[in-house]
Each structure stands twice: as structure tokens, then as C-alpha cells.
Amino acid sequence: MQNPFWHPKSTLNCKGRLIQLEPAAVMGILNVTPDSFYADSRLTSVQQVIDRAGVMIDEGADILDIGGYSSRPGAEEISVHEELDRVLHMVSSLHQSFPEIPISVDTFRSQVAMEAIQQGASMVNDISGGQLDPGMWQVVSSLQVPYVLMHMRGTPRTMQSMTDYQDVAVEILDWLIDKVGQLRQTGIHDILVDPGFGFGKTAQQNFQLLHQLHTLSILGLPVMVGISRKSMIWKTLGTDPTDALQGTTALHLIALQQGAKILRVHDVKPARQTIQLWDAYQKSNP
């Protein structure tokens, strides 16, 4: 069975390195923060980052996403200086160790994005969609790297108090359409969209959004999904993030069925296997 959703863009160009988005790509999460919601993902040294990245690449990661600012609900703010201190050396070390793997920098700050790209990153993953730093889009435009446009209300500290939607999927689609138009006017054309699961949404709204994920195909842009080990899974199952891998895998399959083209994950191998099985299923009945 062929995927019924239209995705005209089948590759991503990260400074000359092409990432195939058919059937889907895997982005491995590298958190250099002391307070990320999933404790096992926290990395504090260059060697830990290099070791974890090596495992992820061996398991099939297409992109490595590194961030130094925790975006868990209620997360405390840190200074630009502290974020730079956490991220830049890690990006440089990753690029030197694995020059063939595109590195995404997970930040909403234009200075962090600019300096990380200078150190070897080749993609910007902005959880705020440009709302928390008015200089971000101009920096991305000047750097000419792919940009992940994510929907979020407020800040990580305030977002879970801002969950009042009439129709969560429709409102997010309208917001993305507006922002994509603005991005293109700014000169940014290599765009991915992320509906922002867990960022200013209740668990019920997250599931509604997953059910309607296919509506984002109207944008004609690759859709990235970040649901790995999130509370919509472990709270529903009555467990915790350490026991949420099977639930994550189940929802990853639904996301792929709904047209997702990048899975942003803590656990690369299960995500890669899910994509392989989904691809085999599609090809079995062309």
C-alpha cells in the first residue's frame, strides 16, 4: 500500500550532505543538559556525547540533534552564555569525530544557532518557531541551512498553562501556514514542520493532533515528529519515561502512517526498525 499523503520533498540538503526522507529519516537526540525529562538521555562530557553518537550512527541515525537548553515543561531559563558553553564544544567534537553525519542544533537563540553552524552544525531546530528570538530567521536565512519550524505557545516554563484550543489540529495548521509564508519571504525555503507534541498541549490534544497529523501534508513540507518517551505515552500507560519505549514505538508507527518523514528519538534502533517494517508493508501491496 502506498503512503496516501503527498510529500514532494524526498531529500534534505545539509551543507551538501543529502538526507533521504523516503520512507523516513531518524534524528537521534543528544541532550547536554542536567535536567532533561528523560534522565538516561542526559550527557555531561564530550566522551559521553561521542560514545552515544557513535552508537546512534551504528544503529541507523541520519541526523544528530544536540541541545543545551532543556525544553521540558516548567524548565528553568539559562543564559545564552551557559547554553553556548554547553553546546559549542560538543558540536565541534561531534563534527570532527563524525564529519559525514549532519548535526542539528536544538536552540531558539540566534546567537547559539549561528555559532553552532560555524562549529559544524548544518541544521537549526527551533522549538519556538522564531517567536522567542526575533533575530533567528535572519540568521538562518543568511546561513542557508534547513530550519525546523515547531509550534509552541509561550516558553517551556509557561507553555502548559496555554492549552486552550477550539480545534488543536486546525489551529496549528493555520499557524504553520502563516509562519511558512513568513519564512519564505525571509529567504528560508528548506523548511521542516513539527507540530510540537507536548509543547502547550494536553495529553488528549496530543492524541488528537496525532490522529490529524496527515492534515499537515497540505503544506507540502516534510513533517518531523518528536514524541519519544513523552508524558502523553507514559502517563497514559501509568508508568514513567524509562518504561515508555514500547509505547513510543507504537505511536511512531501511527505517525509514519500519518505521513511523518523524520522521527526525533532517544532510541535509534527501534525507530529505524519501525521505519523498515513500515516501508516493507507499503511495498508489499503497491
Residue 85 included in any domain:
yes
**Domain count of the fold of the chain:** 1
Annotated catalytic residues are: 230, 264
Beta strands in 143-245 (DSSP E): 147-150, 191-194, 224-225
Cα 178 to Cα 211: distance, rounded to the nearest angstrom = 22
One-letter amino acid of 274: T
Cα 44 to Cα 166: distance, rounded to the nearest angstrom = 41
Q: Is 123 helix (H, G, I), strand (E, B) or coil?
A: strand
Residue 39 included in any domain:
yes
pLDDT at 116: 98
pLDDT at 7: 47
**DSSP, res 77:** P
Residue 270 included in any domain:
yes
Residue 3 included in any domain:
no
Residue 1: pLDDT over 60: no
Helices (H), 134-202: 136-143, 168-186
- Cβ count near 79 (within 10 Å): 10
- Cβ count near 238 (within 10 Å): 7
Cα 33 to Cα 41: distance, rounded to the nearest angstrom = 9
Residue 46, domain extent: 11-281
Residue 2 included in any domain:
no
Residue 286 included in any domain:
no
pLDDT at 76: 73
Q: Are strands 191-194 and 17-20 parallel, antiparallel or unpaired?
A: unpaired
Residue 186 included in any domain:
yes
Q: Are strands 63-67 and 123-126 parallel, antiparallel or unpaired?
A: unpaired
What DSSP element (H or E) covers 12?
strand 11-14
Q: Is 222 helix (H, G, I), strand (E, B) or coil?
A: coil
The whole-chain average pLDDT of the chain stands at: 91
Measured in whole angstroms, the distance separating CA 225 from the mean position of its chain's CA atoms is 6
> Do the beta carbons of residue 192 and residue 149 sit within 8 Å?
yes
Of 69-78, 121-130, 176-185, 221-230, the poorest mean pLDDT is in 69-78
**Model confidence, pTM:** 0.93
> Do the beta carbons of residue 210 and residue 255 sit within 8 Å?
yes
- pLDDT band, very low/low/confident/very high, at 212 (cuts 50, 70, 90): very high
Using one digit for the tens of pLDDT, what is the confidence trace for 236-255? 999 999 999 999 999 999 99
Pull the grid cell for residue 162: 496555554
Using one digit for the tens of pLDDT, what is the confidence trace for 61-99? 999 999 998 876 666 788 999 999 999 999 999 999 999
Using one digit for the tens of pLDDT, what is the confidence trace for 98-113? 999 999 999 999 999 9
Q: Which residues pair with 30 in a beta bridge?
A: 66
Residue 5: pLDDT over 80: no
**If we measure between CA atoms, which residue out of 263, 30, 69, 234 comes closest to residue 155?**
69
Residue 234 included in any domain:
yes
- pLDDT band, very low/low/confident/very high, at 200 (cuts 50, 70, 90): confident
Supply the CATH number for residue 89's domain.
3.20.20.20
Of 40-54, 82-96, 183-197, the poorest mean pLDDT is in 40-54
- pLDDT band, very low/low/confident/very high, at 175 (cuts 50, 70, 90): very high
Cα 16 to Cα 14: distance, rounded to the nearest angstrom = 5
Instruction: Tell whether the torsion through CA atoms of 120, 123, 125 and 126 is positive or negative.
Output: positive
Residue 172: pLDDT over 70: yes
